Amino acid sequence: MKKAILVTGSNGEIGSQLLASMQDSPITKIALDINESITNYDNTIYIKDSITNSENIKKLFNQFKITEVYHFAALLSQTAMNNPQLAKEINEEGSKLIIDTAFESGSINKNFVKFFFPSSIAVYGPRKLIKAKETDIIQPTTIYGKNKLLIERYGTKKHEESHQNNAGIDFRSIRFPGIISPYTIPNGGTTDFAPQMLHAAAVFLLKNGEEEYECKISADTKLPFIGIEEAINSIIRIMNMEDIASQLRSFNIQEISLTPSQIIDTIKKEFPNFSIKYNVEEKLQSVADTWPDSLNCEKAKKEWDFSTQYDHNSFFMDYLIPKIKKHYERN
């Protein structure tokens, strides 16, 4: 039986970047996404299908000895809010199917399938926390947050059952803050205003124009963020750990915390003609008001060596802005 790594949601923001980072590995990658593949890497099997197709999911695990699963397929927060039934089907039932099948595969083969699940700061609530800890009281108010918390707990339960049986899954999860990428423009998430601002500024600078971005979150709403490179590095780091002895399976990470006004002030240092207007959307704001303004990352630092290198200014001036300018100049 040939060894393989399964990446679901392989066309998404995180999935596509992680898949790109794996190309030097000789192990076979299985890229599963509901849409046609956006890449054409060697040693990668592309499958267009849904994570809810139990027959196909079980077939993959029977055909390959899958040693690692990176499960990114999901509906994002705003999309989930607009279609709660589909969110339950994808974010909960689909995720349970992948976890259960990986658990069964590990049990049959008498090994542990490493399983990565990207959780979210959406699990927090109902009040806004400062330096939120993993062990704080958690009562998410959104469908997306409830989906994520349910799977965190389900994966942890299956992890504990696996270790009692000495086979099954090794469940590992990160509670991601907003992710800012200089390469892609996300849509459907509550923190998407930050990367959208950055991309809008870069695009219109290169066109020698002036543009005003409409922000649907209030100017002083603080939220935690991380760059896409550090997000990918963190996934690789947590999965490369031989063992995480902690019973805690979901960890906080962030690089910085920012408000829309802080972001625009920093962006304007490089793109002075770029401006912003606020048109606060009540539903979106009500979600952001329940998410932490910052995260305590001490558990991740202790258990699997998480670290950061940027402050507010260097995050933009040394990392995001040079990267995004190169990205648009090439394209």
Q: Is residue 141 part of a domain?
A: yes
Residue 209 has pLDDT above 70, yes or no: no
pLDDT above 60 for 90: yes
The pLDDT of residue 273 is: 81
CB 166 within 8 A of CB 106: no
Q: What is the pLDDT averaged over residues 243-262?
A: 95
| Rg, the chain, Cα only | 20
Looking at the predicted structure, is the pLDDT value of residue 323 above 80? yes
Helix or strand or coil: residue 141?
coil
Closest CA to 123 of 110, 139, 107, 135: 139
- The residue that leads in pLDDT, 273 or 170, is 170
Is 302 contained in some domain?
no
pLDDT at 201: 87
Q: Are residues 98 and 198 in the same domain?
A: no
Is 300 within a domain? Answer: no
Residues 148 and 191 both lie in one domain:
no
Same domain, 264 and 320: yes
Q: Are 132 and 156 in the same domain?
A: yes
Yes or no: say if 70 and 235 are a contact pair by the CB < 8 Å rule: yes
Q: Is 303 inside any structural domain?
A: no
Residue with tokens 């207007």: 277
Which CATH number does the domain housing residue 89 bear?
3.40.50.720
At residue 212, the pLDDT reads 75
Q: What is the spatial distance between Cα 254 and Cα 178, in angstroms, rounded to a whole number?
A: 9
Mean pLDDT of the 307-328 span: 89
Helices 95-109, 54-63: crossing angle, 10 deg rounding:
30
Residue 125 above 80 pLDDT?
yes
The total number of structural domains that make up the chain: 2
pLDDT-derived band at 77, boundaries 50, 70, 90: confident
Q: How far apart are CA 52 and CA 113, in angstroms?
A: 20
Look at residue 301 and tell me if it is in a domain: no
- Give yes or no: residues 84 and 211 share one domain: no
Identify the band that residue 156 occupies on the pLDDT scale cut at 50, 70 and 90. very high
Q: pLDDT of 2-57, one tens digit each?
A: 999 999 999 999 999 999 999 989 999 999 999 999 889 999 999 999 999 999 99
Give the confidence band of 246 by pLDDT, cuts at 50, 70, 90.
very high
Pair (137, 270) in one structural domain: no
Tell me, yes or no, whether 232 and 166 share the same domain.
yes
In a domain, 130, yes or no: yes
CA distance 301 to 163: 24
Question: Measuring CA to CA, which residue among 226, 293, 213, 281 is closest to residue 253?
Answer: 226
Strands 223-227 and 256-258: antiparallel
Q: How confident is residue 1, by pLDDT bands cut at 50, 70 and 90? A: confident
Average pLDDT of the residues of the chain: 93
Residue 210, pLDDT above cutoff 60: no
Q: Is residue 80 part of a domain?
A: yes
State whether 269 and 317 are in the same domain: yes
pLDDT exceeds cutoff 80 at 204: no
Asked if residue 129 is part of any domain, the answer here is: yes
Q: Is the pLDDT of residue 149 over 60?
A: yes
- What's residue 151's pLDDT? 98
Counting other chains too, the contacts that 25-29 makes at CB distance below 8 Å and 24 or more residues apart are 27/3, 27/67, 28/2, 28/3, 28/4, 28/64, 29/4, 29/5
Do 73 and 208 sit in the same domain of this protein?
no
Mean pLDDT of the 268-277 span: 87
| CA-wise closest residue to 74 among 86, 82, 66 | 86
> How far apart are alpha carbons 53 and 124 in whole angstroms?
30
Instruction: Check whether residue 40 and residue 186 sit in a common domain.
Output: no
Q: Grade residue 124 by pLDDT with cuts at 50, 70 and 90.
A: very high
Please report which residue ranges of 22-129 form alpha helices under DSSP H: 54-63, 77-82, 84-87, 95-109
Mean pLDDT of 198-214: 74
pLDDT value for 189: 84
Task: Say what angle helices 143-165 and 95-109 make with each other, to 10 degrees.
Answer: 10
Helices (H) and strands (E) in the chain, counts: 13, 12
pLDDT attached to residue 205: 62
Question: What is the tens place of the pLDDT at every residue in 58-70?
Answer: 999 999 999 999 9
Is the same domain home to 158 and 237? Answer: yes
The residue segments making up the domain with residue 265 are 179-225+255-294+309-330
Examine the domain organization and report whether 113 and 204 are in the same domain: no
